[in-house]
Amino acid sequence: MPDGVQGIANMQVKPLSGSCGAEVRGIDLAALDDEGFATVNEVFLRHKVLCFRDQEMDEEALMAFGRRFGPLIVHPNLIADGNHPEVIAIRKEPGDKAAVGENWHTDTTCLEKPPLGSALYALEVPPAGGDTLFADQQGAWDLLSDGIKETLSGMRAVHNDTRVAGPATNFNALRSTRNREDDAWRPTESLHPVVRTHPETGRKGLFVNRAYTIRFEGMTEAESTPLLDYLYAAGERVELTCRVSWEPGTLTLWDNRCLKHAAINDYSGYRRDMRRIQIEGDRPS
């Protein structure tokens, strides 16, 4: 690493898998100068998921780190219960029956400008379990045949939040992280390309997910389902994944433009308490 760059002099990067992800140690995210942040961003674009160990962050420090990438998003559905509307407590109490993000998804793609990325900071974790899986959607695109690539090029899909928010979901009866379920709630819907080009690396990747993608443009849900199911499965192949195991003080940053992820709910009877921010992205193209 460059000599004299604040915050990263002892940075060590260890890949988590052959497809994506890296564990980062020996770095203080709160102390990064501009050159140090530029180095972190280069590593982020290369590995797509960065798991930073041994961080000490309150909500203000977490927001300050996120804002180095861009403005923060106030989530349209999850309800903040602290002092900052940008910070969501991703919390599961011992008696909860569900956890946030259990199914494979890309964050908040119902928005016209979905998040560039998300950062999740661990305060309390179970003695075992509660890991998060990530899957590389650029790798998924690379593995498709030329024929399906030609078919998908130029296609667009409708994304909305009807599966994850609103009175019909009833999530608030199952989990501690509160969701908008009031009668004033209305769906948020956007149209996005099925194949997204990363704005910084130029790589193509699949951009459909089980939580938000409803159908292809100009097609019904029934007509869209067979091909969408194939693409979901293609993007969740085990060889595309990495797995993050949490410790108190771990901050994980992921690139929402080219990944899907899923929280593993395998720690019944234990508490897991995290804080999450989302960074504003661009309009997918």
Residue 5, in any domain of the structure: no
Domain count of the fold of the chain? 1
Query: 6 pLDDT band (50/70/90 cuts)?
Result: low
The answer, yes or no, to whether residue 73 has pLDDT greater than 50, is yes
pLDDT value of position 180: 86
Residue 108, in any domain of the structure: yes
Confirm if 154 and 112 have CB atoms less than 8 A apart. Answer: no
The answer, yes or no, to whether residue 2 has pLDDT greater than 70, is no
- CA neighbor of 59 nearest in space, from 31, 84, 91, 92: 84
| Domain harbouring 24, CATH code | 3.60.130.10
Residue 256, in any domain of the structure: yes
Give the strands of the sheet with 12-15, arranged side by side: 12-15, 22-25, 49-52, 251-255, 117-124, 272-279, 88-92
Catalytic residue check, 107:
yes
pLDDT value of position 166: 87
What are 90-124's pLDDT values in tens digits? 999 999 999 999 999 999 999 999 999 999 999 99
Write down the catalytic residue from 192, 261, 272, 275: 261
The answer, yes or no, to whether residue 133 has pLDDT greater than 60, is yes
pLDDT value of position 173: 86
Predicted structure pTM score: 0.94
Residue 284, in any domain of the structure: no
Write down the catalytic residue from 105, 159, 192, 198: 105
What are 148-157's pLDDT values in tens digits? 999 999 999 9
Confirm if 284 and 106 have CB atoms less than 8 A apart. Answer: no
pLDDT value of position 163: 94
What are 155-214's pLDDT values in tens digits? 999 999 999 988 888 888 889 998 888 888 899 999 999 999 999 999 999 999 999 999
Residue 241, in any domain of the structure: yes
Higher per-residue pLDDT: 10 or 52 = 52
The answer, yes or no, to whether residue 4 has pLDDT greater than 60, is no
pLDDT value of position 157: 98
What are 244-253's pLDDT values in tens digits? 999 999 999 9
Write down the catalytic residue from 107, 136, 161, 255: 107
Q: Domain range for residue 261?
A: 12-279
Query: 8 pLDDT band (50/70/90 cuts)?
Result: confident
Residue 7, in any domain of the structure: no
Residue 66, in any domain of the structure: yes
Catalytic residue check, 276:
yes
Average pLDDT of the residues of the chain: 94
The answer, yes or no, to whether residue 230 has pLDDT greater than 70, is yes
Catalytic residue check, 105:
yes
The answer, yes or no, to whether residue 43 has pLDDT greater than 90, is yes
Averaged pLDDT, 77-89 = 91
pLDDT value of position 170: 83
The answer, yes or no, to whether residue 269 has pLDDT greater than 90, is yes
Residue 152, in any domain of the structure: yes
Confirm if 220 and 116 have CB atoms less than 8 A apart. Answer: no
Catalytic residue check, 131:
no
